[in-house]
Every structure is written in structure tokens, then in C-alpha cells.
Amino acid sequence: MKQGDRLFKIINTLFLILIVAVVLYPLYFVVIASVSEPRLVTAGKVFAVPAGLNLDGYRKVFENHDIWTGYKNAIVYTVVGTAVCLGCTIPAAFVLSRRDLPGNKLFMGLITFTMFFNGGLVPSFLLVNNLGLYDSMWAVTLPFAVNVYNLIVARTFMGSSIPLELYEAAQLDGSSDFQFFFRIVLFLSKPIISVLVLLYAVEFWNSYFYSLIYLQSRDKFPLQVILRELLIQADMASSIGGDSTMMQLQELAETLKYSVIIVSSLPMMILYPFVEKYFEKGMMIGSVKG
């Protein structure tokens, strides 16, 4: 290997290590800060390893019974919402990927239009309410059944990975449109389906704004809404506490923030490794080709 090539690889390796450190350290810091003594975190003495052991943040989080209800609701909304979105996005993407579809460009233009313009919050609320979806699980799943960006990515993937010739060959073998879709298209679309599962699952898991708007019953709140209330209560308590307890309440509020991040992010971190091998392939083909 030439001296210049060796130097280039060394510089590249060092640069990538630096990038990885910049990306991973904030995540690592949140983990160690969530189990460290709050006053040491506030004083900036937590850097590489946990300082002291304090689990008050996690204890406070899990002592709240609403947390478990929120976890259950968040899982239900995420699973049901992702299934609904996939059931709408995948067939629509397949249909729109066919070049022989009459009015293909018109349909895509109308769908793309909704990425930039919509009715707004008040008309959307009135629509949800008039449909009888208000304060139900469907209020936070059905109105968001199709994400246009995800639809375009899936359409591009299918258009470049499932050629028209394959469809014609299936027709010659006596396959109907439904048989072609369920037996061939879904099988060949595993990478993009995995990508959509991750994107939709993260979207539903992290969503809290529409839950605040469309849900009224506390027993239907997802995890993110409960955690938001917990943080607000901690901040309010620290702001109105007496002088003797002010510092303790502020420290508790600070450690709660880190604990809440871990509690809310852990499920998605667990999910990602299972779809990671498909993620890059699906995103690259779906975003670039076609």
C-alpha cells in the first residue's frame, strides 16, 4: 500500500472515530447522568463515568401508576397505528409505482400537494369530532394513516425494484393483480417495509401533541403525555418550593429529565437493531433511484 493511501485511511479512521464520539457521547451522558447524584450533574462533575449512585429519578417515574397505563397505551397506539399505516401505504405505493396507471402523475401531484398545504388544526379537529373519533384510539391513528414522504419513498423503491416485466411474466403464468401483490410484491419489498415499520413506529411512539388535542380521558393518554405532565409538575414544584427545599426540587427535576429520556427512548432503541440491516438498503433505493 502506498504511503499516501495509508495516510488517507488513517485520517479517515480518526475522523470517523471523532464523528462517532460526537454522536454517541450525548446519549452516553444521558445514561450516566440519569443514575448520578443530581448536584454533581448540575455542578458539571459528571463527564466520563457516573458520580455517585442515585435512582430517585427512575423511582419517581415508576412510582407514578399513570406511567404503566401510558406505556400500555403507547404500545397499543404504536402497534395499531403502524399496522394501519402499512396497510394504507404499501398498497398505495404499489399502485402509484405502476407506470401504466391512468392519471399516475395527477394522483401523485394531488398527494404531494398535501405535504405543503392542509386544512389546519381547527378543521382537522372538527373533522375528527364529527366522525365520532374524538377521545378514542382511532383519533390518533386513522387521521395519520399515510405519511406522504414515506409513501413517495415506498413508491420509488417499488418502481425501481419491481419492474413491469416481472408483472407481465406473472400475468402470463395466470397470476391476478392481488396474487402478484401478496405473493411477489410484499416478498420483494421486505427492506422498504422494515424501513416504514421503523419510521411509523418512531413517529407514533414520540407523538404527544395530537394526543393532547384529540384525547380527553386520562386513561387513554400515551406515555409521552404522562411524561410531559411529570416534567411540568417537577418544574412547577421546584419553582414554588421554599428556600430550604428549592435546591432539592431543582435537582430532582433535573434528574427526572434524564430518566424520562431513557424510559421513553429505550423501546425504540431495542427495535432498531432488528430492522437496521434493511434500513440503509430501503432508504437508499427508495430515496435515490427512480
State the average pLDDT over residues 153-179.
Answer: 84
Instruction: Write down the mean pLDDT value for the chain.
Output: 82
Separation CA 215–CA 202 (nearest Å) = 20
Q: Terminal CA-to-CA distance of the chain, rounded, Å?
A: 38
Cβ–Cβ contacts within 10 Å for residue 13, how many? 10
Q: Which of 65-69, 100-104, 183-187, 269-273 has the lowest mean pLDDT?
A: 269-273
Cβ–Cβ contacts within 10 Å for residue 159, how many? 20
Q: Where are the alpha helices (DSSP H) in 207-242?
A: 209-214, 223-240
Q: By the 8 A CB rule, do 122 and 196 touch?
A: no
Q: Which of 7-11, 123-127, 162-166, 201-205 has the lowest mean pLDDT?
A: 162-166
Grid cell 401508576 is found at: 65
CA distances from 255 to 225, 226, 237, 247 (A): 18, 17, 14, 12
Distance of CA 153 to the CA centre of its chain: 16
Q: Which residues contact 52 (CB under 8 A, 6 or more apart)?
A: 36, 37, 40
pLDDT bucket at 82, cuts 50 / 70 / 90: very high
pLDDT bucket at 92, cuts 50 / 70 / 90: very high
Separation CA 237–CA 89 (nearest Å) = 45
Separation CA 43–CA 246 (nearest Å) = 16
Q: DSSP character for 46? A: -
Higher pLDDT, 107 or 52: 107
What pLDDT, in 10s, does the model give residues 182-198?
A: 888 888 888 888 889 88
Higher pLDDT, 238 or 139: 139
Instruction: Look up residue 106 and give its three cell numbers.
Output: 395527477
State the average pLDDT over residues 202-221.
Answer: 89
**Percentage of residues of the chain with pLDDT beyond 90:** 17
Q: DSSP character for 221? A: -
Q: By the 8 A CB rule, do 233 and 63 touch?
A: no
Instruction: Look up residue 35 and give its three cell numbers.
Output: 443514575
CA distances from 141 to 63, 86, 129, 172, 188 (A): 29, 12, 14, 40, 27
Q: By the 8 A CB rule, do 35 and 53 touch?
A: yes
Residue from 157, 192, 174 nearest 183 by CA: 174
pLDDT value of residue 134: 92
State the average pLDDT over residues 261-272.
Answer: 79
pLDDT value of residue 143: 87
Given a cut of 60, whether residue 245 has pLDDT beyond it is no
